[in-house]
Structure 1
């Protein structure tokens, strides 16, 4: 998630104000440079097939013969969790799912000590190196499971400067990315209460959405009711190289529970010691960590 402070308690020792101010200035300039490379239209070679309807009716999702060899096969999910005893220690996780079956075909993690401070709005500078390392590792293994698209437990353009973790990762990794948030990032006058009220008035069913339109008139993303059994919406935003319309379509196809499977599975991925890693409360209360032997590459 973009707001890590609520997940990890105290975010660790904070540098002096003048150091933070200087760092924010540097990161703001770097962010603007990266943002200049942002693409918010569909920019990929794979095919999706027919769209999923808002009513979740069964549709023929067959790919045309000419696109069969280039269909979307592998969707990744990434996330970081933090040590309860020392929030500077983190575990980055990557899972890759088969898009058709939504089964996990690859998983990896790495544990690190974060040296960059937590500064709200600049989460990507702290977390992206860990995730980029995991993507590099799957690439070096020369296996077929490198994700064609990445879902991020966080935000894309739904961000104060329009460039959240999903966008940051997408530009640096040059991969289509989607931001999927469980809590609304308040930007451009958007408020969680108003969005939930609008979703309630719209009487959303599974797979249906309401646009997130700010005071400026900009569409920042969409709130989607992903499951009839859950009234809380999730918040979808384009990250990089994908339109909001396509991002919504992909997320719909990946939902069995409140959050799409790539995000859900990466949160549930086995960690080195489950006693010391945090899970969001809604996951922790319903799910049990799978304890598997795992040997990092």
Structure 2
């Protein structure tokens, strides 16, 4: 498939691929979980994938790929800037993850096909999106304790879950990407956040891509 160069082409790809999203828990619980993130400096980028042992959250593998953006910044089409570098980084891994934790949206997207959906469908690996802010949808007030949740609703559709990962901190916004259900996605995020607001996978991938950009 030729990579889109215009918004119209990119939207057409999203419309084509979103029907392939599987909303079901596929396979056994992941032994290895990967965090994915991209850092930018103008048109330069570093795409990082860091794999941890799901039981210990200890890093077991990583790959960082340097490159340049090949698609403009357009809200709702951010995946088209990030997916090529992240796919290349995934190919370089020696340890194959059983779950992708993306720093961004999955189903909680205007066309129900954010970054986590895109990567999940293209790789076949179960994927979830964990975002710092909402893109679409609203939710009721959460209790201030760790583990509190509230449905993220867009129109009459539940598109994700607001999740309080630590007492008194802002929630994160969890949505499915591919081959996972929302309750499983929420449970995974809580397991990946024993100490901080963001999953350990996200924190490690964020650090790796920033270091890659700085050192590259």
Q: TM-score, normalised by structure 2?
A: 0.91
What secondary structure does 1:180 align onto? strand
Alignment match of 1:30 (pick from 13, 27, 34): 13
Change (3 A) 1:162 1:99: same
- Counterpart for residue 227 of structure 1: 166
Distance in 2 between residues matched to 1:115 and 1:220, nearest whole Å: 29
| Alignment partners' CA distance in 2, 1:79 and 1:159 | 18
Distance 2:21 2:71 in 1: 24
The yes-or-no answer on 1:247 pairing with 2:185 is yes
Q: Provide the secondary structure at the position in 2 that maps to 1:79.
A: strand
Cα distance in 2 for residues equivalent to 1:131 and 1:102: 21
Q: Secondary structure at the match of 1:36?
A: helix
Out of 253, 256, 262, which is 2:201 matched to? Answer: 262
Residue in 2 that maps onto 1:91: 46
1:162 pairs, out of 94, 97, 112, with 112
Distance 2:128 2:70 in 1: 26
Query: What is the Cα-based RMSD across aligned positions, in Å?
Result: 1.7
Match of 2:59 among 84, 94, 104: 104
CA distance in 1, matches of 2:170, 2:75: 24
Distance 1:184 1:178 in 2: 15
Aligned residues: 210
The equivalences for 1:24-173 within 5 A come to 24-43=7-26, 45-47=27-29, 72-83=30-41, 87-138=42-93, 143=94, 145-173=95-123
Match of 1:258, SS? Answer: coil
Query: C-alpha distance in 2, partners of 1:272/1:147?
Result: 21
Aligned counterparts of 2:214 and 2:10: Cα–Cα separation in 1: 33
- In the aligned structure 1, how far is the partner of 2:64 from the partner of 2:32? 18
Richer in strand (by share): 2
Q: Which runs of 5+ in 2 are unaligned?
A: none
Matched, 1:179 2:129: yes
SS of residue matched to 2:80? helix
SS in 2 for 1:159: coil
Q: Comparing both chains, which one has the higher relative contact order based on Cα–Cα distances under 8 Å and sequence gaps of 6 or more?
A: 2
Distance 1:272 1:231, change over 3 A: closer
Name stretches of at least 5 consecutive residues in structure 1 with no aligned partner.
1-21, 48-71, 277-297
Q: TM-score scaled to structure 1, two decimals?
A: 0.67
Once the two structures are TM-superposed, the CA of residue 36 in structure 1 deviates from its matched residue by: 1.4
Secondary structure of the corresponding residue to residue 162 of structure 1: coil
